[in-house]
Amino acid sequence: MEKRKAFTLRQIVDRLGGELVGAPGVRINQVASLENAQCGQISFLAQARNAVQLKTTRASAVILGMDAQNATDLPRIVCKNPYAYYAAVTGLLNPQPRPRAGIHKSANVDKSARISKSAHIGANVVVARDVRIGVDCVISPGCVIGEGTSIGAGTRLYPNVTVYHGCRIGERCIVLRHSPMEQPSKLNGTVAQRKTCRKNANISRLLHELSV
């Protein structure tokens, strides 16, 4: 069995941003909940009511919001959105193989759409008029991308995500199908800022943009 790749906390922060507090050389090879984490794993605190678990967790490090940065003496990464950061670390530690570039024969792509030759467009994807899809993007099966939407380089949309017209998604983002957002939404840094997309934009939970 192949040994799982590990990253030091310093390497993680250098790649994903955030403020490192504590030993930079702590090695992390997986993510886990505060309750179940073991040595070599990193967890996160998203809600204050779970702060008591910081006293008993076996995690080697934790991800905390700015308001909780002094809640533990464990090595920690402090950031604006612990949930989003945890998702980015999950992707870093568990990289998915990138599918082959090209457009699946069952995809419905408007002829005005501008799609990078290195992008992957999966089965039954619908791409509307004037959409722009950047270099190395992965649009998974069943996604629907509305008119005039722009998707930055290296972004991955997981299966069955619906992005309504006029949305802007930045570079190296992860978008999962989760729940509709009823206000205008934009990926900006580690937070979903409600500024850019049209109302009732059914963008799924917007997790993380590495290019701040």
| Of 35, 21, 27, nearest in space to 9 by CA | 27
Residues ≥6 apart with Cβ < 8 Å to 186: 167, 168, 169, 192, 193, 194, 195, 196, 197
User: What SS3 class is residue 132?
Assistant: strand
Which pLDDT score, from 0 to 100, does residue 25 have? 96
Write down the pTM of the prediction: 0.62
CB neighbours (10 Å) of residue 16?
21
Edge-to-edge strand ranges of the sheet holding 162-163? 108-109, 126-127, 144-145, 162-163
Per-residue pLDDT of the chain (212 residues; tens, 9 = 90+): 445 689 999 999 998 889 999 999 999 999 999 999 999 999 999 777 778 899 999 999 999 999 898 999 999 999 988 888 888 898 889 887 889 999 999 999 999 999 999 999 999 999 999 999 999 999 999 999 999 999 999 888 889 988 988 888 888 787 876 533 333 334 433 333 333 333 333 333 343 333 32
- Give me the count of residues in the chain: 212
Edge-to-edge strand ranges of the sheet holding 102-103? 102-103, 120-121, 138-139, 156-157, 173-175, 206-209
Residue 189 backbone zone (phi > 0: left; psi -120 to 50: alpha; other: beta): left
Q: How far apart (Å, rounded) are the C-alpha atoms in residues 162 and 176?
A: 10
Q: Which amino acid is at 14?
A: D
Which pLDDT score, from 0 to 100, does residue 84 have? 82
